[in-house]
Structure 1
């Protein structure tokens, strides 16, 4: 099974599945409803296990940090560093997109094609039968601090759920270990079960990548993807630069070669890029950072779970690159002051939109229109399509930012020591039986099963006789 998973999770295999899916989607655009339904099934399957696993990872991260005597003030320092990192990513993305002139230089034919795309995918006007105050209240973001933890878990709002879990986990962490051992044992079994469920769903990642690529290209069309090549090249170039910087930081922190760090992070990075749900890569990231690279398990579980939810570095970077792309499309290349403003606005919007469900491109379009005066009404369908296409890369940037914060705020063992400790901890238990012992054990097992069967049969007959007479 491990060999099969390694083969299926090879980047070449997944890239081939994506290209094949894109080709099928362009050849058969009528299959968009089918591909959309299949992708919805995958999202439903992965979200069944993703949210409970995320909740339990935060809970056990708090318990392990408290058991290891970690200082809670360090979490506040890491949160401030995360906000600074989000701002730096947004500024860097805006500068890189401006240098690459993403969206500039479109000829008349390409502009006409972009206009046709916007007109074809334009959403119908929204008519409300309620008063303006009711309509305004309907789109307000839900409160982050939950009043009912079970209600927000049923709704699926990850930020509100995690705030409730942080409060609950902190309350349990300050109790005596004897008082919470039984609860932790029960939750540990659920935690391992959810991890196994996510890994089982991820085995079919090539099929998932094929379906998602086919759904994207069948609904958008090959012409649309071609028009957005400039943005996609700039965006993935920014993501690649972020990956290189984080790998270099981890290698410097661990005093090892970058190739060793990249090898340890290969599987979680691959899953994160090709899975539309960021939590699908969370078990792989926890294993890579704690087992293969030697960081503290508690810090990794806590930071890798809450950082992609609250410190959305990937969304800040995406908003910044998207703003420069749209400004260049309208023939208004941003200057130095505009780039600085875009960076701050992108970081602020990504932070403010934590509790807003659904797509964020509409919110970012409103911010840009109010601050820079860019008329984005006609570009909204394009922005929504770009948000879907760049989902995996956004999640990857957020997880890499969490890895950078873990490296800055946690001591780590050398990778060789971590691997040796993991191998010693997970050594298999061998049970050697002779032929006579094997036959005796099989006989005892058969006798036990026959005894249970006979007892059940006798109880059933006795109940039948009592009902008859």
Structure 2
């Protein structure tokens, strides 16, 4: 069973699944579709555990953080670092979009192909309504409403999956929970601990399906992605992949420098969460692996990790900010909209806001947040939804990986001055009579036969006594 659990953490196994999935998508599409359905079930299971894991982990994180030196300063540092890293992703994406100008020099054939895709997908879809804020009865039609941030019913926020409201209620409840004494919260602490470990085990077992998800996703991409679309959008896709890889390497270097280990050692310690985050399609699946890697392997504060990692998995979307900025630049160039300095600043701000607004959203609903940046430039949001939905699976893994490493960077920087929590190597037991003191039991064949005969006689007597009692 332990060897089976190592399969999702093996890069060789996952690469093999990608190759086999690509072959299945080209020559055995029904097999690939079946694997893709199983993979979507895996994502549903992980998302099911996401909200309770977020709540319980943040309870424990706040409780432990309150016992550390200068907790208020550390919380403020975490929030400022999270905002800075998301804004940095938006800034890098905007500058790269202006410098490389993806979508500006497309051929006539590529323009025609993208135009046909937009018309074919939006012909009967009607007008797409895209707004940032909403109030009252119409709030459900908007990306963000006041009740999403400060809900009047915590259970309603949990039932509807409103991540921002869940975070607000969790922080308030967690701070009150952390302010109580250990005696007052002894029973509740035990319940939360059991729930926490159960959710970790649930995600750990669900990750056994990760190779199936990788196989099915590769098959789905090969079978359903149009090569003309990939060719027309290859510029923005390749630019995003290069930027995401470069920023991920910078984040790993910062983590290695902060923890005092080599770059290779940092990569080795974070290999499991990086593989899970890159291939799972959801940022929540890597939460248990990330907490374990940052605390037990890299020696950072577990209290900080348990608070930041679940928060960052939902809200610290540096990869999404980078992606949204490139989406806005590509669509602006596609429609011949020149980007002035004011437009660039607007893209940075809008992409940062969109990254936070997309918290808890995956797939099409997450891409819809890009409409904030496009609406700021008065560009059609339908273009982003139609074009980028077609290639979202390609960009999803690097986007989640960059967001994961940005979260790990916040953990590393916020743990400054705290005692290392690396798991200590077990000490070799010292024996009073030398190193080789050991009790050995040795039996001859005759002795073993006598023991077996005695056990058989005893078992026969028990059976006879049972029959006698039953007969009476």
TM-score tier, shorter chain, comes to 0.7 to 0.9
Q: CA offsets, 1:346-377, max 9 Å, x none?
A: 11232345487861433423541x43243443
Of 356, 362, 365, which residue of structure 2 is paired with 1:359? 365
- Is it true that 1:138 corresponds to 2:143 in the alignment? no
Tell me by how many angstroms 1:104 deviates.
3.4
Equivalent residue for 1:466?
Answer: none
**Per the alignment, do residues 356 and 265 of structure 1 end up closer, same or farther by CA in structure 2, a change over 3 Å counting?**
closer
Structure 1 residue 299: Cα displacement: 0.4
**Deviation string, structure 1 residues 245-304 (Cα, Å, up to 9, x no partner):** 111111221232111111111111111010111100111111111111111001001011
Cα distance in 2 for residues equivalent to 1:23 and 1:226: 20
Mapped contact 1:58–1:165 kept (Cα < 8 A): yes
Q: Quote the residue 1:226 is aligned against.
A: 231
1:322 aligns with 2:322: no
Alpha-carbon distance change, 120 to 352 in structure 1, aligned in 2, over 3 angstroms: same
Residue equivalent to 2:432: none
CA RMSD of superposed structures (Å): 3.7
Mapping of 1:234-249 within 5 angstroms?
234-249=239-254
Q: Unaligned 5+ residue runs, structure 2?
A: 129-133, 430-438, 444-450
Cα separation, 1, equivalents of 2:361 and 2:268: 36
Q: CA deviation at 1:99?
A: 2.9
* Residues 25 and 214 in structure 1, CA contact (< 8 A), matched pair in contact too: yes
1:172 match: 177
Find the aligned partners of 1:434 and 1:120 in 2 and give their Cα distance.
79
Alignment of 1:209-358 (within 5 A): 209-332=214-337, 334-354=339-359
Aligned length: 437
* Separation in structure 2 between the aligned mates of residue 275 and residue 62 of structure 1, nearest angstrom: 28
CA shift digits 1:182-234 (9 cap, x unpaired):
21112212211211111111122111111123334434334333332222211
CA distance in 1, matches of 2:141, 2:381: 20
1:382 aligns with 2:384: no
Change (3 A) 1:306 1:371: same
Change (3 A) 1:53 1:356: closer
1:27/1:160 Cα in 2 relative to 1: closer, same or farther (>3 Å)? farther
Matches within 5 A, 1:439-454: none
- The equivalent residue for 2:9 is 9
Partner of 1:124, secondary structure, is coil
Alignment map for 1:387-398 (pairs within 5 Å):
387-398=392-403
Q: Which secondary structure state, in structure 2, belongs to the residue aligned with residue 327 of structure 1?
A: helix
The CA deviation at 1:113 is 2.0
Judge conservation of contact 1:57–1:302 (CA < 8 Å) in 2: yes
User: What is the alpha-carbon distance in structure 2 between the residues aligned to residue 112 and residue 188 of structure 1?
Assistant: 57
**Cα deviation digits, residues 16-59 of structure 1 (max 9, x gap):** 32343244335566788756643432222222323222222111
SS of match in other structure, 1:390? helix
Work out whether 1:124 is the aligned partner of 2:130: no
The alpha-carbon distance between structure 1 residues 25 and 339, as it changes in their structure 2 partners (threshold 3 A), is farther
Measured after TM superposition, the shift of residue 69 of structure 1 is 4.7
* Aligned mates of 1:118, 1:145 — CA distance in 2: 37
TM-score by length of 1: 0.81
Q: Is residue 160–residue 355 contact of structure 1 (8 Å, CA) maintained in 2? A: no
Conserved in 2, the CA contact under 8 Å of 1:254 and 1:412? no
Distance 1:126 1:118 in 2: 12
When residues 172 and 372 of structure 1 are mapped into structure 2, their CA distance, relative to the original with a 3 A threshold, is closer
**Change in CA separation of 1:97 and 1:20 when aligned onto 2, cut-off 3 Å:** farther
2:24·2:32 contact (CA, 8 Å) conserved in 1? no
Could you state the TM-score of these two structures normalised by the residue count of structure 2? Answer: 0.81
- Structure 1: where are the runs of 5+ without partners? 462-469
- In the aligned structure 2, how far is the partner of 1:351 from the partner of 1:182? 35
Mapped to 2, the partners of 1:215 and 1:263 lie a distance apart of 30
